[in-house]
Amino acid sequence: MKTVVAALAVGFAFITPTFAATPLVVYSAGPATLSAELARTFEAETGTPVELFQSTAGKIMARYQAEKSNPHADIMISASWGHALTLDAAGDLLAYSSPNAATVPDSLKTDSYVAQGAAALAIAYNPNSGLPAPQHWADLTQAAYKGQVTMPDPAKSGSALTLVQGLVAQDSDAAWSLFGDLAANDLLVPGANKAALNPVLQGARGVVFGAVDYIVIGAKAKGERIEVVYPDEGTVLAPRPIMIMKSSKQAEAAKQFVDFMLSEKGQALVAEHYILPARTDIEARRPGWDDLTIIDFDAARAAAQAAETKAKFAAVTAR
């Protein structure tokens, strides 16, 4: 008798999931609270359950790569535009243009992926450090900032890589000598974005070169003493691509998710995290489209040279 019951129980355990609605599997980078809120609100609006895998941009790509033979993800939200470029070139993305993307600038959408929002790269400094307020990227090579500057590692942070690519695209020689001078000024490249920001918040260093602005603005809103400066010679945007995987067996639900993300409600959630919403008609809770000088460069070409750029950066800033 016992065995029969056990066998039935095991049998049911395998059968039941097929009766429930299949969840939409979303791999997401970026603020954990944002991903969770988006998933919850989407579930409430559509009744489609969402299975969320929340990690860093690199880790979600690693998981996707490892599962190549048996893909799970329907949707991926990365913090690095280069990821979408690469997957699109490999033919892994499902083409879809959301009707809600009408007011998304052309630079932030293609036929197969669209930005959820974007971060801008900035200088962040701790006003308690007693340093003069920096205005330009090159200011940080001055003697006053010696031993005071940190920068996220382009090998570990997609946004930092974008900044290096943008500055190099703008003026290659000037950019590389800038990084050389920063290194000579005792630049610290401790890891990804938080590793670069924390020493500045804690007072061990004074300035971040290339901070992800929404993280800093969020920290400031929580009472941290930190200021954001957008150099007027130009900075870059790090758009956050949302992608539907071609392997998805839930293409309709996935398209619904993209529509929701670009709806007013979805974009308002994005804006609440101080990320620049992709839609220009949604109010940003931070410096918006008109307040930033953006360096325009060929992201596809830069992505093709990413490995060389990272290697050169490592060589130029090596201690």
Partner 1 sequence: MPAAVLTAGAAAGKHAGRSLRPVLLAAATLLMLILVGLPVLAILLYALFPHINEWSLTAPFSALLTNLTDPALIGATLNSLRLSLAVTLLSALIALPLAFRRAQMGVRAGRIWDALLLVPFLIPPYIGALSWMQLLQTNGFSEQLLGFNLTGFLYSFPGIVAVMALHLFPMIYFPTSRAFAVIGSRYSDVARVFGGAPLQIFARIHLPMILPTLLSGGLIVFVLSIEEFGTPEILGNRFGFRVIVTAIHEKFSDWPIDLPGASVLSMILILLAFGAFHLHQRLAQRFSTAVENQSLIRPSGAPCLRQALIDLLLFGTAVSLAVLLPLLTIALSALQDTLSGGLALSNMSLRHISALFAPDSATAG
Q: Which is nearer to partner 1, 28 or 100 (CB)?
A: 28
Q: How far is CA 82 from CA 68, 165, 175, 191, 307, in A?
A: 19, 11, 20, 19, 12
Q: Which of 304, 309, 300 lies closest to 165, judged by CA? A: 309
CB of 54 to partner 1, least distance (A): 7
Contact between residue 182 and residue 141 where contact means Cβ atoms under 8 Å apart: yes
Closest separation in Å from C-beta 306 to partner 1: 8
User: With contact defined as beta carbons under 8 Å apart, do 244 and 85 qualify?
Assistant: no
Q: 284-304: b or e for each residue (b if 16 or more CB lie within 10 Å)?
A: bbbbeeeebebbebebeebbe
Q: Residue 217 is which amino acid?
A: I
Yes or no: say if 211 and 124 are a contact pair by the CB < 8 Å rule.
Answer: yes
Tell me the two tokens of residue 192: 């990804």
Closest contact distance (angstroms) between CB of 231 and partner 1 is 22
Cβ contact 292:136 at 8 Å: no
For the bound state, the minimum distance from the C-beta of residue 148 to partner 1, rounded and expressed in Å, comes to 10
Q: What is the dihedral of CA 60, 198, 160, 177, to 10 degrees?
A: -150
Rounded CA separation 53/44 (Å): 18
CB of 36 to partner 1, least distance (A): 4
Q: Select 216 or 244, whichever has its Cβ closest to partner 1.
A: 216
CB of 233 to partner 1, least distance (A): 27
Q: Which residues bind partner 1 (CB under 8 A)?
A: 31-33, 35-36, 54, 56-59, 61-62, 65-69, 80, 82-83, 86, 126, 128, 155-158, 161, 188, 190-192, 195, 198-199, 201-205, 222-226, 306-307, 318-319
Whichever of 38 and 101 has its CB closer to partner 1, that residue is: 38
Nearer to partner 1, 100 or 150 (CB): 150
Nearer of residues 61 and 282 to partner 1, judged by Cβ: 61
| 100/166 with CB nearer partner 1 | 166
